[in-house]
Amino acid sequence: AQKVTQAQTEISVVEKEDVTLDCVYETRDTTYYLFWYKQPPSGELVFLIRRNSFDEQNEISGRYSWNFQKSTSSFNFTITASQVVDSAVYFCALSEANTGGFKTIFGAGTRLFVKA
């Protein structure tokens, strides 16, 4: 069975601090896909990144970076030099290839507060 754990319920930082959001996943499938979504106060989930299980390269996009480590089943998300606009709930998600990629399981989310 697939499972996503985001142990941090809430994180509060001061603007310009770096912050890392943790994500640990469980799956029996050898091929799977990991995602991060952002949910601002407006409510819609905004896709940030997808990572395939066979691609362990870390990724950087502007102030965002992702660290995928299969050995520890983790897919952590770091925001560098955080800004107030980064305040949102962030969800890590997992989709197994044996479901055709259609069954996406979400973690409980981490609420990030960035104070000015």
Partner 1 sequence: EAGVVQSPRYKIIEKKQPVAFWCNPISGHNTLYWYRQNLGQGPELLIRYENEEAVDDSQLPKDRFSAERLKGVDSTLKIQPAELGDSAVYLCASSGGALSNYGYTFGSGTRLTVV
**Residue number with CB closer to partner 1 (80 or 106):** 106
Q: Which residues contact 60 (CB under 8 A, 6 or more apart)?
A: 66
Binding string, residues 65-94; x marks residues near partner 1 by CB under 8 A: --------------------------x-x-
Q: Which of 37, 68, 75, 77 forms a contact with partner 1 (CB under 8 A)?
A: 37
- Pick the closer one to partner 1 by CB: 17 or 99: 99
User: Mind spelling out the 3-state secondary structure of the chain?
Assistant: CCEEECCCCEEEEECCCCEEECCEEECCCCCEEEEEEEECCCCCCEEEEEEECCCCCCEEECCEEEEEEHHHCEEEEEECCCCHHHCEEEEEEEEEHHHCCCCEEECCCEEEEEEC
Binder of partner 1 out of 44, 57, 85, 116 (CB under 8 A): 44
Check: CB of residue 76 under 8 Å from CB of residue 7. Answer: no
- Is residue 4 a contact point for partner 1 (CB under 8 A)? yes
Q: Which is nearer to partner 1, 100 or 116 (CB)?
A: 100
One residue of 3, 17, 18, 47 binding partner 1 per CB under 8 A: 47
**Binding residues vs partner 1 (CB under 8 A):** 4, 9, 33, 35, 37, 42-47, 50, 91, 93, 95, 97, 100-109
